[in-house]
Every structure is written in structure tokens, then in C-alpha cells.
Amino acid sequence: MNSDKMKSGVERAPHRSLLKAMGYTNEEIRKPLIGIVNSQNDIVPGHIHLDTIVEAVKKGVLMSGGTPAEFPSIAVCDGLAMGHKGMHYSLVSRELIADSIETMALAHGFDALVMVPNCDKVVPGMLMAAARVNIPTVFISGGAMLSIEKDGEYLDLSSVFEAVGAYKAGLIDEAEVYSCEDSACPTCGSCSGMFTANSMNCLTEAIGMGLPGNGTIPAVYADRVRLAKLAGIQVMEMFEKDIKPRDIMTPAAFKNALTVDMALGCSTNTMLHLPAIAYEAGVELDLNMANEISNKTPNLCKLSPAGPHHVQDLYFAGGVQAVMKELNKIGLINTNLPTVTGGTVEENLSRASNKNPEIIRAIDNPYSTSGGIAVLFGNIAPNGCVVKRSAVDSAMLTHTGPARVFDSEDDAIAAIYASNIVAGDVVVIRYEGPKGGPGMREMLAPTAALAGMGLDKKVALITDGRFSGATRGAAIGHVSPEAAEGGTIGLVNEGDTIFIDIMANIIELKVDEETLAKRREIFVAKEPKIKTGYVARYAKLVTSASTGAVLK
């Protein structure tokens, strides 16, 4: 056992003495030491209940002959961090999470790990750590928040953001905003749509690191607690069989995850996180691969923000495994791959079924023959940019309009709220990338404001920053290179024409090369908004969004 290096032999008597100081018995010390990574806190709705999940995991470990030892992980709530300085710290927390788990796992000689994440950066941060540490690991997320019906509509967090936009446009009154606020987030759990947290929890299952049900069982269901116990049991099997994360997170597994990503219509943030996880696993994954897979993968689900359904509906319809089974009907899933169930993808799918073709479309009746995410290329984004194609109205799949240029999210929101953005415009928000932000702020407020004002079908928005998974409309993020690195997005002038063709994967600034060359000669990038502390150090080390914004 790996932990024997810390606890076995006469020479390790001091170490055992320290373990006994915490009440560990000789019998417990002799057993495999299983780290339980708990991201619980009292400020994130997706994490407030995770102590219940962790206690269930511990019971599973104990039932199977292991000794559980819990340690913490931080977790940032993107919703609470949105729209102020806090959002600079969201994406960057992913690296802190990965680094801190690596530190704890290797410093204390754990034999295996159970990761208990739930929200946006925590899931990928833990997956990155799992690949890096590479000891047997099982994931069990905290599960999705429920969506409840109010006045004939099922609400979620994006409903509240859009209500603010509707209020600013004079379409609803203040009392209606507060009523929406009281109903949109009725339980603990990760926000109820196919936003980034639930996207990543589903893809954890698709890649083989989470048990079937990990991505879709609601947070408040007893099924979630039972799955947590199974995760504790299953990590012991992974330990006994010496099945490690890199045995599971292979190139073929990442292709499976990307395929499921496209079928589900996941958050555009997956195009940041999957490459970053792959990087830690020693797997090459680029944006061109995403387009190749998207072009041949039917979009089978339209969960919020792309449609009216929520994760609870996907759960009752058969979950991620049912989606994979549909995809496998046309050979899009590699089924001969190991998973944390101890069986192969094929064995897992044998127990799945599509229980509701209205939620999970049959493979011969998709919403579209191509996937939910598209990567666009052109002179304004030579290294690519990303859009959630499944959440774009058909009228905006092609668009040409004048650029309305803003050097921060805050300036853009002020213009939107002041009704200075009109139908046909292309809002350009720059200096919000990984370096320029710093931290690549997630922007739901401007996109939700446009949607609430009824402009999401008439206005495009492009940025070197990123969007919430709750964003809908022609919101194109991750423009690379970013403005802070001298990218063309930094050269755009007010009124320049921008052409977008999402189905053709094209985005172009309609300015001739001679003019751009003259602008480039006098271009000076703006300095990052934060110049001290962790975020300033992050800005110096972070790479482009096109490579997952990893640190090198």
C-alpha cells in the first residue's frame, strides 16, 4: 500500500503516534487509507449539503475495509461571484483546487481518493488533481438543484438574471423580480439547468470517473446518498484492482466525453475544462477535435438554457447513460473502456434505457444533426472561439452587424441597462480573458439582460472572456488570442462590421489587413485590472483559453 511508506515499520512509529493522537486504532492504521475530498462550505448552495454525501461515502469505505480520512477543498459559487470583483477569482480557483489536492494526497500517502465536488471549477479542478496524482479515485458529486413550477414555468437561476433585464426594460415590475427570486433556487444543489456545474458532473460520468447517476440524481433525493455509499464501496474495488485515473481518462474516453458534451448541449466552459483535464492526463485535446466531433454528433437534449427541461427531467428520462446508449446506436461511443464501476462502458450501458424520448431525443429524431457546441475561427479569433449553438435562435445563426466595443464587462452592462444597445449590434467585450481579466470572468449579467429585454434574438455578443452555462443567445466567448496578448479583438473599433456564421464555424472582422496592420503598430494592451496577490501571479503564468487556460 502507498500509505505503508508513512505508517509501517519501527521507523514510522512517530507517524503512527500522530495518527493515534487523532484517535486512530492500530486496526484502522493497518487498513488502506482513503482520502475523502470534501468541498463543503456554508456559502455555496451546491456545497452546503456535502457533509451528508461525505458521511455516506465514509460508510461505504468502512463497509469495504478501508479507513476514510476527510480533508477539505475550497469552492467558489459563480452565481454569487458574478458581476463584481469576486468573479476574477472563479476560474483561477480551479488551479488552487488541483494544487491543494495534489499537496494533501501526496503529503499524506493516501492509497485512494473519493472526490466530492459539485460546482463549476471544483469538478474540473478535482479531475485535474485525479489525473495528476493518479491513485485510484472515484467521483461522487453533490447533485443538481430542483426546478419547481411557478405560474406554468419551471424556473432556474438564469430566470432571475433575465428578470433583472426585463425589469430594466420596463417589462416587469420590482415585485415580479422578487417573486422570481424567491422561487428560482428552491433547494440545495448545483443550479438546475445544463449549466457548467451539471455539464461537468455529467461529463465526469461520461468519461468513466463517476458512477452512473453521478451527473443527474438531484441533490435532495435519497438516491444521491445511496450513490455516495456505493462510491465509497467502489473506491475500494478500484484500489484492490489498482485501476487508476489515467487508466480511465484515455484519449478514447475524452472523445466519449466530447461526444456526450455535444449531444447534451453542455456549457461552453467545457471547452476550457476538458482540455485542461486532458493536459493533466497527458492527452492532447484541441478545439479542432471539438468541431470534428460536433459535426457528426446529433444534439439530443435541450435543457435550460437551450430549452424548457432541467436536470431532474434528464434523470427521470434515464440520465447520461441513456444518452450514451442512443449515441451508441450509430457507433459514436467507444464502449470497450474501463470505468469506476469496475466494468466497461458497454456493461454499464446494458442497464440503461431511454424512458422519455421528449427529453432525450431518439438518435433518428435529433434536434439537429450536429452538436450543441461550435468552435468558430476567423481573423478576429485565429485560435478559435466558442458558442453554445444549441442555445442560439435560428435567426442568429448568421449575423452581420456593427461592433459596439467595451473594455470591460461592467461598461457593457451599463450600456445594455441604459438601452444603448439596439437590434443588429455586435457587442464586443474585451480585456476579460485569462490574462487580461485577469481570471476570465464569466458573464451572465449582460447576456441575461439582453435576453430579458428581448434582444437575445437580435444582438450578438463576443468576448475574450467567457459565459455562464446559463447563457443563451449568440454569445461567443473564449476569443483567442485575447486582447491582453495582442489579439485582433483588441484592434476592433466602434462601428467595425463583424460577420458571424455559426453553422459554417466562421467569425470575421470585416476590416482589411492593411488597416489592421496600422492599428497594430500603435496598439498598446491595457494592464490587468488586478496587480497584486494570487490573481496577479496567475495572470503571469496562464495560457490561452484555446488551450484550456492551464498554467505553464
φ, ψ dihedrals at 70, nearest 5° = -90, 140
Task: Please count the other Cβ atoms lying within 10 Å of the Cβ belonging to residue 444.
Answer: 25
Cβ contact 443:196 at 8 Å: no
Q: In 3D, which of 513, 516, 521 has the Cα closest to residue 492?
A: 516
Cβ contact 186:294 at 8 Å: no
Cα 98 to Cα 247: distance, rounded to the nearest angstrom: 19
Cβ contact 211:140 at 8 Å: yes
Q: Which residues contact 295 (CB under 8 A, 6 or more apart)?
A: 370, 371
What is the crossing angle of helices 157-168 and 174-183, to 10°?
A: 180
Task: Please count the other Cβ atoms lying within 10 Å of the Cβ belonging to residue 71.
Answer: 16
The 3-state secondary structure of 290-352 reads: HHHHHHHCCECCCECCCCCECHHHHHHHCHHHHHHHHHHCCCCCCCCCECCCCCEHHHHHCCC
Strand order in the sheet with 112-116: 67-72, 33-38, 112-116, 137-139
Q: Taking CA 193 as the corner, what is the angle to CA 407 and CA 89, rounded to the nearest 5 degrees?
A: 40
Residue type, 141: S
Total residue count of the chain as it appears in this document: 552
What is the SS3 assignment for 466? strand
| Residues paired with 33 in a beta bridge | 67
Q: Cell 455562464: give the residue.
A: 468
Q: Cell 472515484: give the residue.
A: 138
The grid coordinates listed for 502 are 455559426
- Known active-site residue 468: yes
Nearest 10 degrees: Cα torsion 87, 90, 91, 95: 140
Q: In 3D, which of 525, 507, 448, 464 has the Cα closest to residue 91?
A: 464
- Which residue of the set 3, 158, 267, 468 is catalytic? 468
φ, ψ dihedrals at 398, nearest 5° = -125, 140
The grid coordinates listed for 159 are 430566470
Instruction: Give the single-character DSSP code of 210.
Output: B
Task: Please count the other Cβ atoms lying within 10 Å of the Cβ belonging to residue 419.
Answer: 12
User: Which positions are catalytic?
Assistant: 468
